[in-house]
Structure 1
Amino acid sequence: MNVAPPTGDTEETYKKVLAENEFPVDVEKFDGYSLGWIGPRTAKAVILYMHGGGLTEPAFDAHIQFLLNGWKVMKANDQDVSIAVLAYGLAPKTPYPVQNRQVVATIHHLLKSRPAEDIVLSGDSVGAMLTLSTLLHHKHPMPTVPALILPTPTSRFREIFVVSPGSGFITDTKSMQENHGKDFVTHDRMTLGKEILEASKEPGIDFPNPWILSVSAEETWWKDLPVGKVTITTGGDELWRDENLTVGERIKKYHDREVTVHCGEGEVHCGPFFDMMTGVTEDKAGTKLFKKWFQDFKA
């Protein structure tokens, strides 16, 4: 069940997968990171996607292929939308929390050409955690990270869809213990990733903190999130199941828009991507939900 970390970097993986699919490559470069566009930069709506990998590993081929497949479904439905894959800097070369700064800077860049209501935030694993931390950062600023400034006091991102939010901290939840050996992520792998981040993080940054471990945020921080609909998926056999369900219930308690929290029986961490990597042909419930989200998307 072990999945070897990908090689190269996210931008290289994006270029490779799109070339294999004979799809146009469009990389927008910034200082220390880039956006890989699936669809035109000028689309009305954009889904900003942040991949998993513990902030230390690049995107897998499956990340890019799954997103490309999703974009094709939206395009077939005549939706004017693009997906922008954020190739954020990886630790140890890029210390934490520079990644959060890159997310905020990217959002500000996207806001130059469209309202917040036409921006969707999405991600898996620590990329999903970046998504949640960005929402928290709006009202509860993360130290050393520039403020997230939206156009008006009532501006909201259209929605978020996050898969298996998780970061490399071994907690005392039931799922963290009983699913060790069921999930492809191991405690050893989590510890290694955490050690890399700790050794390379910027001075003065608490670790962990509520922005990298969202279950540790105060309950009331989930009030007034600058977003519309919220969807969180997790796997019944994943290490972070209990944390994800706890965060999901807290958001349900305080958020004033639709919140969907899905737990797929027998599914592991980042199930849609894991299944694609391992050749699973029959979609499990979490994958079906993600694909339906693309199918139902309206720009």
Structure 2
Amino acid sequence: MSRSAAHDARNSAFREAFKTPFEFKASLLPTGELITKEAQKLNLEHEIQDIPAGRGARIHWLGHRPAKRVLLYFHGGGFCFPALKGHVRFWNECLKSLNPKSDFVIAALEYGLTKEVRYPTQIIQGLEALRFILGQGYDASNVAIGGDSGGGNLALGVLSILLHGFDGVEPLKLDAPLAGVLLFSPMVSFDTDSESWTANKDKDCVAPISMHLLGPAYVDPGDVNNYSEPLRADVAWWRGIPAKSILNIYGGDECFKSHIVELGEKLNEAGNKVENVECPASVHIDWVLDLHAGLEPGIARIRILDWLSRVF
């Protein structure tokens, strides 16, 4: 059962747009322009900083600084699309919910997009963003990282580098576990052969053809590995994630559900503190799309804000 006719129409519109992802990308504002425009509309304090060794990546600070706690966030979009206005509204909701209680800001990463920028640049940009934030004086215990869709993939790539290193990248040693990791509908595999892809392909906002195009645009077949496609990693790979809490949250009606559930089971079996949360009658990155389209939010809003309040 769907949440409403308006939600169905929204999902259908995005599903059609995602069938031609590179044409859809061309219709969108670049991430930096979009964040600047929406932050002004929302009267959000906004500052931009270049990241040393960030290969062109920038951090968009949202909220009042200085602040003690920060969520480093990687927006979704299959490594192809820039941030949507729904992302900025999502960050604004997080800021309004946690402040002034938590002395909290968002650090949104503007990272490289395909086809111009490809793997492994994005996960290196993510790691260097974390290194930069820690270098600003933040304690690791007051930093969380997170992302939705491809941004969730990126967050897992950063965790993989923290755990196992990466050729050509200076190791980053944390002095304490991170406050948490938010995985919101993470895109953990480019494969579309799963039970949920079959069951939800006419309900969700994504389309199989988009994955067949976005995967090769991001990573060459010979470079597909645990860093680029997190579901490939076994349980042992995920042992010792340096984070106090992980929220792995997804929609009951999303195509990625089977893969996300499998990943959550691996993270849990590896001994990490994981909350695996299914949101009934919800699709991929449901809350972000609710905010983008101006629709009533679902259960994801409640569960994410509750988790953030406990983490911070």
TM-score (norm 2): 0.86
| Counterpart in the other structure of 2:305 | 291
Q: Which moved more, 1:185-194 or 1:164-173?
A: 164-173
Q: How much has 1:117 moved relative to structure 2?
A: 0.8
CA gap of 1:146–1:56, structure 2 versus 1, over 3 A, is: farther
Question: 2: CA distance between counterparts of 1:119 and 1:95?
Answer: 27
Aligned partner (choices 133, 139, 143) of residue 115 of structure 1: 139
Question: 2: CA distance between counterparts of 1:174 and 1:287?
Answer: 26
Q: Which moved more, 1:174-183 or 1:164-173?
A: 164-173
| Counterpart in the other structure of 1:68 | 92
Aligned partner (choices 12, 24, 28) of residue 45 of structure 2: 24
SS of 1:276 mapped into structure 2: helix
| Counterpart in the other structure of 2:127 | 104
Q: How much has 1:260 moved relative to structure 2?
A: 0.6
Question: 2: CA distance between counterparts of 1:246 and 1:57?
Answer: 26
| Counterpart in the other structure of 1:129 | 153
Q: How much has 1:254 moved relative to structure 2?
A: 1.8
CA gap of 1:140–1:171, structure 2 versus 1, over 3 A, is: farther
SS of 1:227 mapped into structure 2: coil
SS of 1:232 mapped into structure 2: strand
Question: 1: CA distance between counterparts of 2:44 and 2:146?
Answer: 22
Question: 1: CA distance between counterparts of 2:183 and 2:87?
Answer: 13
TM-score (norm 1): 0.89
Deviation sequence 1:75-134 (CA, Å, 0-9, x none): 14x221111000011122222111111111111111111221111001100101111221
Contact 2:279 2:299 in 1 (8 A): yes
Contact 2:118 2:217 in 1 (8 A): no
Q: How much has 1:212 moved relative to structure 2?
A: 2.3
Aligned partner (choices 217, 231, 236) of residue 196 of structure 1: 217
Aligned partner (choices 173, 178, 184) of residue 163 of structure 1: 184
| Counterpart in the other structure of 1:139 | 163
Return the letter of the residue paired with 2:56: G
The count of corresponding residues between Structure 1 and Structure 2 is 287
Question: 2: CA distance between counterparts of 1:280 and 1:74?
Answer: 22
Contact 2:157 2:228 in 1 (8 A): yes
Extract unaligned runs of 5+ from structure 2. 1-11, 18-23
Contact 1:160 1:231 in 2 (8 A): yes
| Counterpart in the other structure of 1:278 | 293
Return the letter of the residue paired with 1:104: L
| Counterpart in the other structure of 1:263 | 278
Contact 2:78 2:149 in 1 (8 A): yes
Indicate whether 1:14 and 2:38 are aligned.
no
Question: 1: CA distance between counterparts of 2:150 and 2:166?
Answer: 16
Extract unaligned runs of 5+ from structure 1. none
Deviation sequence 1:200-220 (CA, Å, 0-9, x none): x6xxx8342212221110111
Contact 1:47 1:121 in 2 (8 A): yes
Q: How much has 1:138 moved relative to structure 2?
A: 1.8
Q: How much has 1:176 moved relative to structure 2?
A: 1.8
SS of 1:26 mapped into structure 2: strand
Question: 1: CA distance between counterparts of 2:96 and 2:205?
Answer: 29
Return the letter of the residue paired with 2:305: K
Indicate whether 1:237 and 2:253 are aligned.
yes
Aligned partner (choices 56, 75, 83) of residue 59 of structure 1: 83
Contact 1:17 1:61 in 2 (8 A): yes
| Counterpart in the other structure of 2:199 | 178
What root-mean-square deviation, in Å, do the aligned CA atoms of Structure 1 and Structure 2 show?
Answer: 1.9
Q: How much has 1:192 moved relative to structure 2?
A: 1.9
Q: How much has 1:14 moved relative to structure 2?
A: 0.8
| Counterpart in the other structure of 2:262 | 246
Q: Which moved more, 1:172-181 or 1:51-60?
A: 172-181
Question: 1: CA distance between counterparts of 2:111 and 2:132?
Answer: 15
Question: 2: CA distance between counterparts of 1:206 and 1:255?
Answer: 30
Q: How much has 1:41 moved relative to structure 2?
A: 4.4
Contact 2:245 2:311 in 1 (8 A): no
Question: 2: CA distance between counterparts of 1:2 and 1:218?
Answer: 36
Question: 1: CA distance between counterparts of 2:33 and 2:102?
Answer: 27
Question: 1: CA distance between counterparts of 2:188 and 2:203?
Answer: 18
Question: 2: CA distance between counterparts of 1:145 and 1:55?
Answer: 21
SS of 1:269 mapped into structure 2: coil
Q: Which moved more, 1:90-99 or 1:238-247?
A: 90-99
Question: 2: CA distance between counterparts of 1:143 and 1:242?
Answer: 31
